[in-house]
Structure 1
């Protein structure tokens, strides 16, 4: 069936999760891809004959490519039929992961990550636009929560499964991503209705950037992800010395995923009760204190205490990083209520940019001779700057453009 109606034509309908199910499966595959490599850096580095820091750049190049390509590809394809766009983006994403899975050297693996990111950047924006267009305004939050919930589910379920497979070969999780992505592709082609949306120009997409307060708010998103990925990308190097068994890191990554889901669920309720700014202030302050205390404990405490506190730090970071998304998106949407969809897309690029910078800074610090525990200090510095920027955005009066 071909549905060429404009988004407002579906306002009278109720919410149904069935048309969105395969979109959630697609974001689930992206979630596995986004997190599983962090737990396999030693295996990747050994197999491709590079340093752990270089292996971490496989995550950086994906995030950086997605940050740049997202707005551009979103604009170039804005007049395309949406189901076709999603299917094409997902196919490119799957192809990139297959290339990584069969890569015989580091440059080929890096190229595969770039290709996967080109598809992933367009896929994320197209999925969000489709979900918003297919559901009434009153159910937009529910639709996005369901579709993007694939990411959170991947951190709790998909990543541990991928890490278990990765104990035999780090390539198997990439094959898992390709299989899940292909399943979603088939479901999307068979089950999703076609949908045409009004096109937009690049000027339309970047117009909100004329508001300095909003730009600063987007950089808060970058700061949160930058501080997170500076440590998360190298979590195996930070916690590995305290937990030598392979299964231990699988359990720890599972715990991080559960903590992220819990943080997302908790703050979703808190934002409805308190202001998004207040909730975000508490979360950012908590993340900063957690990074400082975690670094001190891992560096100076006795081995047993350091191991326990390392878990406290990592899981608390999961709660905070998972919980920051809801209040931050709510705050950004309030800064430009007439351009909410565009702001969400720009926020996706800001998040990808932050992830790329975080992985890159962590790799630079390790290459320069820093101990893995020292990455918590890098994270703390980034968080301190992010807290200051957040407070500045919160106290600055809005401007009109």
Structure 2
């Protein structure tokens, strides 16, 4: 009964504050997606320029996560989490109060600096404080905050931002501030082994660790190749805005489901085996979904399209836990740095996916061809994963 309440001393009542912090950073990545016209009008820029508020966040995170992770790797973990969360909150308040586009961009850079370090520090804390046999459930619980944000980000942004696009940014800051108070009051201090920078970076010499980071890039690239342009993919069959909102909300809910399920499976089986099943499922789903959207009658294409999108949500949400658990074991004492590198891989994959999808559409290809592109990327990611997944190490990684 005790294990349902805590993970060897780290209680859910403690982990929930990390989940709330993850929720605030997650929702920040989605909340602006449906508000670009309002942002562009208010800041007197074009909609593509308004979209760079999201791009600069992703690029800053990708570049700075490993740098900040390395620079703070010797710090006490609760202080790192609290400081990075405070910076993240301040950055969002800057955006919410920005009188012009330049200051809004600056605020997004500040929030990205805090957010990328925060996510890496949270994951390193959970991995360090949780034994391997409970790590899947612990990561699932904390990452559940991010998955919930995936479900609520676009709908919340559209609903709250109807009167003013700045309100969602205030909401993100308020949620982050609440999490900060909880972390300062409830989170135990954690001092990770000091070691040298060379010792901490030594895991990066492992081909399997580097391959794991490439798999992260591949999963996110395949996901965002389609997710970024979901409105175009579903446009021919679901024209009303409220339908798209419901579809995106459903995607987030299925992502949460995938996260919860693989959290338990990762504890029961091994991260490599769970990840193999998830990647294979995502690949088959992309192939079947692409054929249905491209060649099935309209009604069947609509049904199959929804099935593809929601199953993709299950797979993309479900890949996070076994991937983080696998990298955590490989990282050892360098967990903080490796989690920062994985955060960069996530941001890089998302940026590559959005760019790749845009290039494909610019050639005049129909939106459903994005699923074929996603399948190619997943084939590469699965091949890399299988290449390094040795049966002799499957029981320990």
Provide TM-score, normalisation by structure 1. 0.82
Query: In the superposition, relative to structure 1, how do residues 55 and 158 fare at CA in structure 2: closer, same or farther (>3 Å)?
Result: closer
1:157 positional shift: 4.2
Q: Match of 1:266?
A: 261
- Matched residues, number: 387
Query: In the superposition, relative to structure 1, how do residues 279 and 16 fare at CA in structure 2: closer, same or farther (>3 Å)?
Result: closer
Q: Match of 2:206?
A: 211
Q: Match of 1:297?
A: 292
Q: Match of 1:373?
A: 368
Q: Match of 1:115?
A: 110
Alpha-carbon separation, structure 2, partners of 1:363 and 1:274: 38
> Which deviates more, 39-48 or 109-118?
39-48
Alpha-carbon separation, structure 2, partners of 1:104 and 1:250: 29
Q: Match of 1:3?
A: none
1:225 positional shift: 0.8
Q: Secondary structure at the match of 2:74?
A: coil
Q: Secondary structure at the match of 1:36?
A: coil
Describe the superposition over 1:97-121 as per-residue Cα deviations: whole angstroms up to 9, x where unpaired.
Answer: 2333345665554433322211111
1:175 positional shift: 2.4
1:278 positional shift: 3.6
Query: In the superposition, relative to structure 1, how do residues 330 and 17 fare at CA in structure 2: closer, same or farther (>3 Å)?
Result: closer
1:322 positional shift: 1.0
Alpha-carbon separation, structure 1, partners of 2:296 and 2:97: 42
Q: Match of 2:46?
A: 50
> Which deviates more, 355-364 or 328-337?
328-337
- Is the Cα–Cα contact under 8 Å of residues 263 and 321 in structure 2 kept in the other structure? yes
Name structure 1 gaps, 5 residues minimum. 1-11
Query: In the superposition, relative to structure 1, how do residues 299 and 271 fare at CA in structure 2: closer, same or farther (>3 Å)?
Result: same
Residue 313 of structure 1: which of 308, 317, 327 is its match? 308
1:384 positional shift: 1.9
1:287 positional shift: 1.5
- Is the Cα–Cα contact under 8 Å of residues 117 and 340 in structure 2 kept in the other structure? no
1:139 positional shift: 4.9
Residue 235 of structure 1: which of 227, 230, 255 is its match? 230
Alpha-carbon separation, structure 2, partners of 1:124 and 1:261: 18
- Is the Cα–Cα contact under 8 Å of residues 31 and 152 in structure 1 kept in the other structure? yes
Matched, 1:360 2:344: no
Matched, 1:160 2:155: yes
- Is the Cα–Cα contact under 8 Å of residues 297 and 305 in structure 1 kept in the other structure? yes
Q: Secondary structure at the match of 1:379?
A: helix
Describe the superposition over 1:230-266 as per-residue Cα deviations: whole angstroms up to 9, x where unpaired.
Answer: 2212323332443233322222122111111211222
Alpha-carbon separation, structure 2, partners of 1:341 and 1:313: 35
Matched, 1:79 2:85: no
- Is the Cα–Cα contact under 8 Å of residues 41 and 234 in structure 1 kept in the other structure? no
Q: Match of 1:127?
A: 122
Alpha-carbon separation, structure 2, partners of 1:246 and 1:106: 27
- Is the Cα–Cα contact under 8 Å of residues 121 and 336 in structure 2 kept in the other structure? no
Name structure 2 gaps, 5 residues minimum. 1-6
Q: Match of 2:321?
A: 326
TM alignment of 1:150-189, pairs within 5 A: 150-157=145-152, 159-189=154-184
Alpha-carbon separation, structure 2, partners of 1:388 and 1:72: 29
1:205 positional shift: 3.6
Query: In the superposition, relative to structure 1, how do residues 227 and 186 fare at CA in structure 2: closer, same or farther (>3 Å)?
Result: same
Matched, 1:279 2:274: yes
Q: Match of 2:341?
A: 346
Query: In the superposition, relative to structure 1, how do residues 134 and 380 fare at CA in structure 2: closer, same or farther (>3 Å)?
Result: closer
Q: Match of 2:251?
A: 256
Residue 382 of structure 2: which of 377, 381, 387 is its match? 387
Residue 35 of structure 1: which of 23, 30, 33 is its match? 30
Query: In the superposition, relative to structure 1, how do residues 190 and 336 fare at CA in structure 2: closer, same or farther (>3 Å)?
Result: closer
- Is the Cα–Cα contact under 8 Å of residues 93 and 115 in structure 1 kept in the other structure? yes
Alpha-carbon separation, structure 2, partners of 1:237 and 1:212: 38
1:181 positional shift: 1.1
Residue 92 of structure 1: which of 54, 72, 87 is its match? 87
- Is the Cα–Cα contact under 8 Å of residues 267 and 324 in structure 1 kept in the other structure? yes
Q: Secondary structure at the match of 2:288?
A: helix
Alpha-carbon separation, structure 2, partners of 1:349 and 1:336: 16
Residue 69 of structure 1: which of 64, 67, 70 is its match? 64
